[in-house]
Amino acid sequence: MPFPDVKLANRPLHFIYLCDCSGSMAASGKMQALNQAIRQSLPGMAAVARDNPEARVLVRAVSFADHAAWHIQTPTPVDQLEWRDLQAGGITAMGEALQLVAAALQTPPMEVRALPPVLVLISDGQPTDDFAAGMAALLRMPWAQKAVRLAIALGHDADLEVLQRFIGSDPSPTAGRSPRRPLQASNATSLAQYIQWASTAVVGAASMPASRVQETPLEAPAGNIPLPDLPPTVLDPTDDVGLTVW
Amino acid sequence: MNWILPEGASLDFEGVAGPVRIVRGLGGGTQGQVYEVELEGERLALKWYLPACIARDRGLERRLGESIRATAPTDAFLWPIALLRASASSRPLIRIREESFGYLMPLRPASYVGASEHAAGRLAIGLRQVLRACFFLADAFHALHLAGLCYKDVSLGNLFLEPGSGRILICDNDNVAVDGSGEGAVLGTPGFMAPEVLLGQARPGADSDLFSLAVLLFRLLTRHDPLRGQMELAIRCLDEPARRRLCGEDPVFIFDPVDARNRPDPIEHAAALITWPIYPRPLQALFEQTFCRGMKQPSRRTLTGQWKQELARTLDSRVLCVSCDQENFRPAGGSRPCWSCGTPLPEGVSLTLPRGTVAAAPDNELHPHHFDALAGEDLRHPIARVVAHPQDPRRLGLRNLSAEAWSAEAADGRPHRVAPGESCSLAAPIRIHTPAGPIAVQRPARPAPAA
């Protein structure tokens, strides 16, 4: 006899990519690497979504170049997501992208009850429009304040200061890599690792609490969601044969 | 996935004699990565830790060593078998620079699926199997606690179920430590953590395990969370501070008989409202014991032995509705309508044993603890099983699963031999004599109305 056909009520978890598609992304295969990294991360993201019945993971993406536009406008369940390739060309309307996301995080259209959204900003350059206005519009939204905001810097020309402003202040005193600082991807392998980490470990942490260890400051969490460890630096066997470094 | 250990390669490790072939990567988390490996023709699982995890938990290696020496409390644990460190020849093949280690454990058979599949409603499983899984879970923690150990991090994420049998497996046993030692870095998983641990007022131990166990049992039995009711609906963004309020600072059981602030919402929390009434009052009372008095008083929480006893009794009271065939649990000395279709449950045949009564419904089993006052509840070695007649499912029999013959006594006093593996009809005999003890067949005074 079957168990009653009921299940735990779940909440939506909105995951939004903000992807830089400016002309410089066309150089050294960065655009292709980003498209590949996101596409390759989807099965793992779907598996995490499946393992977290308390969350309904919904994905969207904004692209920005001369203007910002929704690349995926409808919040899409990750197992139904097909990643169409982004194309590079234009300047860097990052501020406009933040305005678009701010509008989407207003209630409505945002649900009254949800899990903290996850926003991932990926950029290789400097905003060419009014970043500050976009950031201010975003942070007026309570859901954006609650959101887990991550940034991935592609190559060495990315504006780390702007990306840090997107993430918010960095409370961690130690040097080195931290999810509260821009993650610096200097080649396709590290980009794929960070995308995979954001779409699996972070989605997991935001949707269902993970095991907590002593060092996690339970009294004063660094954010409203404790972020998982960054992926380890796995030595890539292909490193020896010369890899494009951005 | 970026695998730290090279798939397909054979590596030498300190800690085992032969080379370990890395068959394939199975998965990875924030602690480490798990691989299927082969050692001397045997398939095992290998968990390899990330350096960050080792750095955080200084006692990890010693604790694992102690667990390996202590051996598994029951076969429900995917217990560490051996601690592995890379040998000098293997070290260059391991794709992280920092020193690391791992441990071997049994490989989880493919028939076991993650308990979150059940929580998500994606598993074809019956009430009997869910109750059995709950029993096996309580039984595993009973053995662990009796060994003086505590688990610390019970959650849906480290429990696996075999839907057909209700058997369970518990993984991630690397936080197991001697109760009260305060060792180890793990505090637990919010939502399953006891309030005093979540608030930082106590270290995880056997008492907080009892809270986490009750949450997990509740989640399995109701597909809902014991603390998510009206008070959750008042929370817009369910983040860490909100969970801390809901599960630590002001935790209220959704079915608290006194405090009605956190009742389930009829739409958002329908699962709890449908499933909770299915279970007998004594089982519900054990949840109240943990989630009401025991919420703030860890020593008052329901003990593993109490869970085992009541879950076994609940299984004994299982009957099938004559109208919709759904599984029900008949309250002792009373009756009630079927939870699914509302048809009154007729008084059926029951088997009275030296210790307890078992309703005669297909698949219900008799165990040594039904006969022997000294035997603890154990569902793994049934002596008898109620079976439906292959041609007429309404005719019930009792199959002899023991190794010795029984003698069934009819109303006229004549004995019939029931050899091992044979079944005797429950329509005629009034008593069955077994080497374990007598089985009295009780039929309702008036014949049950025809279905």
B228 chain-A contacts, CB cut-off 8 A: 9
**Mean pLDDT in chain A?**
88
Q: B218 and B253 in contact (C-beta within 8 Å)?
A: no
Confidence of residue A218 (pLDDT cuts 50, 70, 90): very low
How buried is B413 (Cβ within 10 angstroms: 0-12 exposed, 13-18 middle, 19+ buried)?
exposed
Output the pLDDT for position A173: 64
Q: B315 and B132 in contact (C-beta within 8 Å)?
A: yes
* A4 at B interface, C-beta within 8 A: yes
Nearest to A209 among B52, B243, B327 (CB): B243
For residue A191, pLDDT beyond 70: yes
Contact between chains at B191 and A209 (C-beta distance less than 8 A) = yes
Output the pLDDT for position A242: 44
Contact between chains at B127 and A219 (C-beta distance less than 8 A) = no
Output the pLDDT for position B318: 96
What pLDDT, in 10s, does the model give residues B236-277? 999 988 999 999 999 999 999 999 999 999 998 999 999 999
For residue A2, pLDDT beyond 70: yes
Nearest to A209 among B96, B189, B327 (CB): B189
Phi, psi of A17 (to 5 degrees): -85, 135
Confidence of residue A235 (pLDDT cuts 50, 70, 90): low
The residue in chain B having the minimum alpha-carbon distance to the alpha carbon of residue A233 is B96
pLDDT in tens, chain B (451 residues): 778 999 999 999 998 988 999 999 998 877 889 999 999 999 999 999 998 889 888 889 999 999 999 999 999 999 999 999 999 989 899 988 888 999 999 999 999 999 999 998 999 999 999 999 999 999 999 999 999 999 988 888 899 999 999 999 999 898 898 888 877 777 888 889 999 999 989 999 999 999 999 999 999 999 999 999 999 999 999 998 899 999 999 999 999 999 999 999 999 899 999 999 999 999 999 999 999 999 999 999 999 999 999 999 999 999 999 999 999 999 877 778 999 999 999 888 999 999 999 999 999 999 999 999 999 999 999 999 999 998 888 899 999 999 999 999 988 888 999 999 999 999 888 899 999 999 999 988 765 554 4
Which domains are assigned to chain A? 11-210+220-241 (3.40.50.410)
Determine the residue type at B400. N
* A50 at B interface, C-beta within 8 A: yes
**Whole-prediction pTM value?**
0.91
* A108 at B interface, C-beta within 8 A: no
Output the pLDDT for position B352: 96
Contact between chains at B340 and A116 (C-beta distance less than 8 A) = no
Domain with CATH 3.30.200.20 in chain B: 10-106
Which CATH number is associated with domain B10-106? 3.30.200.20
CATH H-level superfamily of B113-308: Transferase(Phosphotransferase) domain 1 (1.10.510.10)
**Cα–Cα distance measured from residue A28 to residue A50, given in angstroms and rounded to the nearest whole number:** 35
Contact between chains at A232 and B320 (C-beta distance less than 8 A) = no
For residue A178, pLDDT beyond 80: yes
Contact between chains at A237 and B200 (C-beta distance less than 8 A) = no
B270 chain-A contacts, CB cut-off 8 A: 6, 9
Output the pLDDT for position A112: 93
Contact between chains at B2 and A52 (C-beta distance less than 8 A) = no
Contact between chains at A232 and B127 (C-beta distance less than 8 A) = no
**Cα–Cα distance measured from residue B18 to residue A95, given in angstroms and rounded to the nearest whole number:** 59
pLDDT higher at A104 or A53: A104
The residue in chain B having the minimum alpha-carbon distance to the alpha carbon of residue A4 is B275
Confidence of residue A243 (pLDDT cuts 50, 70, 90): low
A208 chain-B contacts, CB cut-off 8 A: 157, 191
**Cα–Cα distance measured from residue B110 to residue B214, given in angstroms and rounded to the nearest whole number:** 27
B364 chain-A contacts, CB cut-off 8 A: none
* A90 at B interface, C-beta within 8 A: no
Sign of the CA dihedral with B37 first, then A208, B170, and B103 last:
positive
Output the pLDDT for position B451: 44
Q: B368 and B375 in contact (C-beta within 8 Å)?
A: yes
Domain with CATH 2.60.200 in chain B: 347-442
Give the other-Cβ count within 10 Å of A82's Cβ.
8
Determine the residue type at B387. V
Q: Average pLDDT for residues A32-39, to the nearest whole number? A: 96
Q: Name the minimum distance, in Å, from the CA of A2 to any CA of chain B.
A: 4
Reduce the DSSP state of residue B435 to 3 states and report it: coil
For residue A172, pLDDT beyond 80: no
* B325 at A interface, C-beta within 8 A: yes
A7 chain-B contacts, CB cut-off 8 A: 119-121, 223, 271
Contact between chains at B56 and A50 (C-beta distance less than 8 A) = no
**Cα–Cα distance measured from residue B249 to residue B368, given in angstroms and rounded to the nearest whole number:** 44
| Token pair 């988390």 in the structure block, residue | B29
3-state secondary structure chain A: CECCCCCCCCEEEEEEEEEECCHHHHHHHHHHHHHHHHHHHHHHHHHHHHHCCCEEEEEEEEEECCCEEEEEEEEEEHHHCCCCCCCCCCCCCHHHHHHHHHHHCCCCCCCCCECCCEEEEEECCCCCCCHHHHHHHHHCCHHHHHCEEEEEEECCCCCHHHHHHHHCCCCCCCCCCCCCCCEEECCHHHHHHHHHHHHHHHHHHHHCCCCEECCCCCCCCCCCCCCCCCCCCCCCHHHHHCCCCC
Q: B175 and B193 in contact (C-beta within 8 Å)?
A: no
Q: Average pLDDT for residues A106-135, to the nearest whole number? A: 95
* B196 at A interface, C-beta within 8 A: no
Closest listed residue to residue A182, CA positions, set A133, A125, A141: A125
**Cα–Cα distance measured from residue A151 to residue A163, given in angstroms and rounded to the nearest whole number:** 6
Output the pLDDT for position A221: 47
Output the pLDDT for position B430: 87
Contact between chains at A116 and B239 (C-beta distance less than 8 A) = yes
* B9 at A interface, C-beta within 8 A: no
* B15 at A interface, C-beta within 8 A: no
Residue B232's H or E segment, with its range, is: helix B230-233
In percent, how much of chain B has pLDDT > 70?
99
Output the pLDDT for position B24: 96
| Token pair 């050294």 in the structure block, residue | A28
B124 chain-A contacts, CB cut-off 8 A: 2
B187 chain-A contacts, CB cut-off 8 A: 211-214, 216, 218
* A11 at B interface, C-beta within 8 A: yes
* A210 at B interface, C-beta within 8 A: yes
**Cα–Cα distance measured from residue B187 to residue B198, given in angstroms and rounded to the nearest whole number:** 8
Contact between chains at A235 and B97 (C-beta distance less than 8 A) = yes
Output the pLDDT for position B346: 84
Output the pLDDT for position B127: 97
Q: Hey, which CATH number is domain B347-442, 1.10.1450, 2.60.200, 2.60.40, 2.20.25? A: 2.60.200
